[in-house]
Structure 1
Amino acid sequence: MNNINKLALIGGFRSFSGSIIWPYVGFALYKVYGLPLSVVSLFYLVQAVVNVIASISGGIITDYLGRKRSMALSILFSSIALLLAYVLNMPLYVMVFILFQSFFNTVYNVSSTAIVGDMYKGTSQLIKAYSRQRVGINAGWALGPLVGGYIFTFFSFRTLLLISSLLVLIIIPIVKILPDFKGAGSILNFNLNKEFLTFLIPTFLTFAIVGQLGFSILTYYNTILHFTEFEVGILFAINGLLIVAFQDLAGRLIGSKVKLISFGMVMYGLAYLAIAFITNLYVAMLDVVFITIAEMIVTPISQALANTLANKDTRGKQMGLYSMVTGLGRVIGSSVSSELMNYYLYYPLGLWGSISLFGFSSAVLYYIILRRLKSIVV
């Protein structure tokens, strides 16, 4: 088995163990533990702060300890955090230990993103490699929310915490057989360039809308259209299965055509705007198909561009910054949508029209930035 397939397998196990709980965390805090939406919004804001700390420190750890050791340690401590949340099972403790797990998830993401950049060169090869890695990751995401939704509906969120904490340990032996890479130079030297920093601006907006496929969709569909958690889990499963089936093909078709990222962001914006007009599960399924097509275009191009613009000697730290921005985009996007729901939950066009602006804005910025990077991005 070659290294990218090992990473895809590791990503699959890890994403399955994580995705049985993550789409339901905010919802569980709201429905199961009885916390108001304002507290859920605060939780996501605190998670944003945790993500900043984890991304910066994770980049330093990844360069210093190496990719392989960072991945293994982050998986182990992530498992321990979820186990403690299961044992203590009170709202404050659950939030605190899920935030710890979020910290170690971020360290893992930095390491796994950096190691692909170490092994492959050029935007075309990187897009193909990240597409293959995403096949594994989304195989887990295809099954995880569906299983998680079933367990949540018929057992409990607490049961999900226990199962997730145990499942993630399975992949540590596979991590140990990967090749290792380390950074070079001073531990605090990030060696940033203007092109990389500029690219991070639309990246933030991109992942603010990417992160809506979770708490926002679940809460809206459950509250307004009365879909069960299991039915929303079906939507998440469609997303994952389509990526498993077609992400490799999408990567080959994209090749080095990185400007397609703007097209993908326009599609994201339109697909989320369309949620305001959805009235039943079948139309919601169709809309998820378009959200998924946008994701298959945008995400591997974004990862490939980040690695292309990064310096190889400080790749871990720069992928830490990239992870920080993507993570901030996700959690602040969820926080913004949570806050918007306080005012527009029963005014769908206002809610999803506002959210769709993340996609349209980033599409314009990518178009402007990529025109200036023709000589760099090849």
Structure 2
Amino acid sequence: MFDLLIHYYTRTIYYKSFAGLSKDIWLLATVMLINRSGAMVLPFLSIYLNQELNFDLSDCGIIMTCFGVGSVGGALFGGYLTDKIGYFKVMLTSLFFTALAFLVVMYLDSFYELCLGIFSISFIADTFRPANLTAIEAFSKKENLTRSIGLVRLAVNLGYAFGPFMGGYIATILGYDFLFIFNAFSVGSAGLFFFLFFKNKSKGLSIEKKQRKKTEKIPLPWNDIPYISYLFLFGITVIVFFQLIYIIPLFYKTGFGFKESLVGLLMAANGLLIFIIEMPLIYKIEKHFNPVTLVSFGGILIALGVLCFAVFNDPIVASIGFIVFATFGEMLSFPFSNTFALTFANDHNRGKYMGLYTMTFSMAHIIAPIGWFQFAENFGYNMTWIFGGVLCIVASIFIYMYKLRSA
């Protein structure tokens, strides 16, 4: 009976979607799962600042914008360091120092202290991201690259399903300080796991870098106009999607009157859906559609999700509609945007290209909080959803037109 079940499972699309991925990709995914399982601070940061520390919406937006500013610096610095010293040292240092930063920020409560503290967390944490993307590419076969990215994203989102879900209960029962403690513990544990399993795996990449000819001219991503144009358009989609992180949790609390436990459950639903669906979805469609087409269509789905809040009056219907549309949009748009971005780079500039790609998300972390909080405070939540949805649709159409021009 057990053999029959194994035989049946190996013939399923879910099994096939994971087949052929390297052991190292699975280990990287495990690092991300451990890291993100404690991701409790950021999903509840707007509620913490507004409800616990009594900052108004404008101040919340400024503090959370500092997260984006630090993210930009961290992404660029991390990309530069990755090309210089390799992914291993960058990722390991980032994980351990991020854990320490969470413990320090837990004790801060003034406006300027929090601005500096949140900036520091994101700067240190986001040096990790371009190094991680470089490591994924290094351990993947070309034909498996999108699925390798998808597996790591799956681990991130499974952790993100667990983190906010538990975070809602921890904030309610134990208090917000424990969110910082658990977040620090998970990041530190990920660093320890990464050190143990990858300490002997980075030598080949470093040797290859040292053997590069000094006279070789290496293209730089900020001089690549098609690449910059694509990132600008995709960045608009990311800014709209980041309403999920910044303003929507606070809207759940103050607009719909949801408790933190329900807010955490709704946030967790995003990660859980991605865990169940994304890998089989990528497996079925990756060879049948151009990546840019999927990025464009995914952006339109994200827009429809945001517009659910403007269309539906029932809080539960609007929330479920948002989660379903936005999650499917994310599953189509984000992994294939990453794959497409990697096609612009080569072995000697991949860290810089991935640093700039990561900076797209970092810039969104700057613009999204201060932009959406200010917009909501001046024009109301309903206009925020409408404006965000329309903006995302326009950007997605231009991304599709970009594909037509480059075809």
Contact 2:273 2:327 in 1 (8 A): yes
- Aligned counterpart in structure 2 of residue 24 of structure 1, from 38, 41, 44: 44
Counterpart of 1:270 in structure 2 is 304
Q: 1:113 is paired with a residue of what secondary structure?
A: helix
Q: Which amino acid aligns with 1:328?
A: M
Q: Deviation per CA, 1:157-197, whole angstroms, max 9, x where unpaired?
A: 212112211221112233232332355577x9662323322
Letter in 1 for 2:94: S
Q: Partners in 1 of 2:213 and 2:68 — Cα distance?
A: 29
- Give the Å deviation of 1:287: 2.8
TM-score w.r.t. the length of structure 1 is 0.91
1:294-373 → structure 2 map (5 Å cutoff): 294-345=329-380, 348=382, 350-373=383-406
Q: Given residue 243 of structure 1, which amino acid in structure 2 is its aligned partner? A: I
The alignment's C-alpha RMSD in Å is 2.2
Q: Measure the CA separation in 2 of the matches of 1:104 and 1:185.
A: 31
Q: Aligned with 1:298: secondary structure?
A: helix
2:225 paired residue number: 194
Runs (5+) with no aligned partner, structure 1: none
> Counterpart in 1 of 2:63?
43
- Following TM superposition, by how much is the alpha carbon of 1:278 offset from its aligned partner in structure 2, in angstroms? 4.1
2:130 pairs with 1:114: no
- Give distance in 1, aligned partners of 2:91 and 2:213: 21
In percent, how many aligned pairs have the same letter? 24
Amino acid at match of 2:26: N
Name the aligned partner's letter for residue 398 of structure 2: L
After TM superposition, the structure 1 = structure 2 runs for residues 6-21 of structure 1, keeping only pairs within 5 Å, are 6-17=27-38, 19-21=39-41
157, 171, 177: which one aligns with 1:138 = 157
How many pairs align? Answer: 370
Whole-angstrom CA distance in 2 between matches of 1:106 and 1:266: 27
Paired with 1:57 and 1:171, the residues of 2 have a C-alpha distance of: 21
Aligned match of 2:80: 60
Note the C-alpha offset of 1:268: 0.9
Contact 1:82/1:165 (<8 A) preserved? yes
For residues 300 and 369 of structure 1, the distance between their equivalents in structure 2, rounded to whole angstroms, comes to 18
TM-score relative to the length of structure 2: 0.85
Distance in structure 1 (CA, Å) of the matches to 2:148 and 2:285: 12
Q: Secondary structure at the match of 1:309?
A: coil
Residue number in structure 2 paired with 1:170: 189
8 Å contact kept, 2:66–2:116: no
CA deviations on 1:199-236 (whole Å, 9 max, x unpaired) are 11112112102211122111112111111121111111
The one-letter code matched in structure 2 to 1:255 is: E
SS at match of 2:308: helix
Which residue in 1 is equivalent to 2:255?
Answer: 224
1:194–1:303: structure 2 CA closer, same or farther, 3 Å change rule? Answer: same
2:322 pairs with 1:287: yes
Shift of 1:143: 0.7
Structure 2: 5+ residue stretches without partners = 1-21
Q: Higher Cα Rg: structure 1 or 2?
A: 2
Moved more, 239-248 or 328-337: 328-337
